[in-house]
Structure 1
Amino acid sequence: MTRRIVVVTGTNTGVGKTIATAALAATSVDVVVVKPVQTGIVDDDRDADTVARLTGVPTQEWTSLDDPLAPDTAARRQGVAIPRVEEYADRLVALCEHHGTVVVEGAGGLLVRLDADGGTLLDLLSALRAVKPADVRLEVVVVCSAGLGTLNHTELTLHALRAASFDASGLVIGSWPESPGLAEVCNLQDLPRVAGVPLLAVVPAGAGTLDRDRFRDQAPGWFR
């Protein structure tokens, strides 16, 4: 079986990245989900816990910061040191020894700074590419919104990936409204066309409120 690391990023914060991560985990075999950096934990609202609740798969959270800010800003305000992205890369590769699929949920968008040295999720991807074994496949999934503005945000994210010689495996619409408007209907067709990558899945709004059995049962139907 091919081992893989699937890195999930978003075109922005609030696009449904955590629920999309859970959907990917629910449709994978021998999987662990990792949130390298979690910010905004004052109310104990953790993305890894959400994924575990929806899927039952093992999850890990490595760095926890109080303020709901970019990790480098949150760490500076809190006065704590946080790991460099290269350290995260080494730990993620080590997990491949025990799991066929390692799903990694980023924080915010592709260029949000994850460490105090300016390391971003894009830098984490580069570090993973440098240290992973040859038989471990590195994939990138971009979660985007359904509404107006998503074409521009998605193309910008993909442009940044391609500039660093990464190709996204595809897109996931993180929250599809129950009553889509003209923009959403057009974007459903236009996203894969303008992005040049396939639309992998469309996650319905409210999927995060499902119980575990219903989530796991319905998740495969969201993928194309």
Structure 2
Amino acid sequence: MTILVVSGTGTEIGKTVVTAAVAAAARGCRVAVLKPAQTGLRPGEPGDASEVVRLAGGHVTAVELARFPEPLAPATAARRAGLAPVRPYEVAEAAEKLATEHDLVLVEGAGGLLVRFDDEGATLADAARLLAAPVLVVAQAGLGTLNVTALTAEALRARGLTCLGVVVGSMPAEPDLAARCNVDDLPVAAGAPLLGAVPAGAGALAPADFRARAASWLAPELGGVRTWTTGG
């Protein structure tokens, strides 16, 4: 698994922190994080890729293909800014080039799997298909997550893509009943294993603490040490 695509079931669910945790757990590896489209930031402001480097460490290379100032879907943000959109083949070419120089390339999407990159309807799924890369789905912990996770997994299957597994992007310190039950139910909804749960607020940890703890949040398939079974 040289290239792994990381997609959320929506926005603001912990996708960047999960990407950082996977990068941090890849000790001894050369890791690159590729952000095809960063929206909502001006030039010079730190983006998601640089946040992964900050949390995960200096063994991570950050690459951003395009940046659009308004916090919108990439296609809309590009159009409103009068800038060229990101095309799936550009994402695939960049990831493949990084893979020649790194042991692991993490391609972090923007929002959900089918958010449009351009006005022709290209998405992160199209880039994943060009790469023949598995997709890691980052999901919410609580009520409502099963439906959007099932829809994301169904969209992957319809495109012949592999769902490597699901990671909960922000698990509350005191999960409610829905979040506790979802530990068991998310793998069923996704048709793929639960591969981790990152604690809420993990992104606010000191980087050294984040790196020391990252492996404890993830399953061995992602370089972690925790075996996730039914019942958590």
Q: Is the TM value for this pair above 0.5?
A: yes
Specify the alignment match of 2:40 in structure 1.
Answer: 40
Displacement of 1:215: 0.6
Matched residues in 2 for 1:87 and 1:18: separation? 21
Partner of 1:105: 108
CA-based RMSD of the aligned residues comes to 1.3
Q: Please report how far the alpha carbon of residue 188 of structure 1 lies from its aligned counterpart in structure 2 after TM superposition.
A: 1.0
Aligned with 1:169: secondary structure? strand
Answering whether residue 62 of structure 2 is matched by residue 53 of structure 1, we say no
TM-score (norm 1): 0.92
Structure 1 residue 67: deviation in Å?
A: 0.3
- Classify the secondary structure of the residue corresponding to 2:2: strand
CA distance in 2 between partners of 1:81 and 1:196 (Å): 36
Query: In 2, distance between residues paired with 1:193 and 1:7?
Result: 21
For 2:117, the equivalent position in structure 1 comes to: 114
1:87 aligns with 2:82: no
CA deviations on 1:67-115 (whole Å, 9 max, x unpaired) are 0000110011111112311122112111111011101100110000113
Change (3 A) 1:164 1:37: same
CA distance in 1, matches of 2:37, 2:13: 17
Unaligned runs of 5+ in 1: 130-137
Task: Tell me what 1:134 maps to.
Answer: none
Give TM-score, length-normalised by structure 2. Answer: 0.89
Q: Which residue identity lines up with residue 72 of structure 2 in the other structure?
A: L
2:48 maps to amino acid: D
Q: Residues 84 and 116 of structure 1 are in contact (CA less than 8 Å); yes or no, is this contact kept in structure 2?
A: no
Matching residue's letter, 1:89 = A
Secondary structure of the residue that 2:163 maps to in structure 1?
coil
* Structural mapping, 1:1-224, within 5 Å: 4-28=2-26, 29-42=29-42, 44-56=45-57, 57-129=60-132, 138-224=133-219
Name the SS of the counterpart of 1:58 in structure 2.
strand
Mapped to 2, the partners of 1:80 and 1:170 lie a distance apart of 34
Task: Tell me whether 115-124 or 210-219 shows the greater mean CA deviation.
Answer: 115-124
AA aligned opposite 1:32: A
- Aligned residue pairs: how many? 214
How far residue 45 of structure 1 moved from its aligned partner, in angstroms, is 4.7
> Partners of 2:101 and 2:92 in 1: how far apart?
15
Question: Residue type matched to 1:84 in 2?
Answer: R
**Per-residue Cα deviation, 1:190-217 (whole angstroms, up to 9, x for no partner):** 1113322110010000000011110110
Separation in 2, partners of 1:163, 1:113: 17
Structure 2 SS opposite 1:72: helix
Q: Is the 8 A contact 2:128 2:134 kept in 1?
A: no
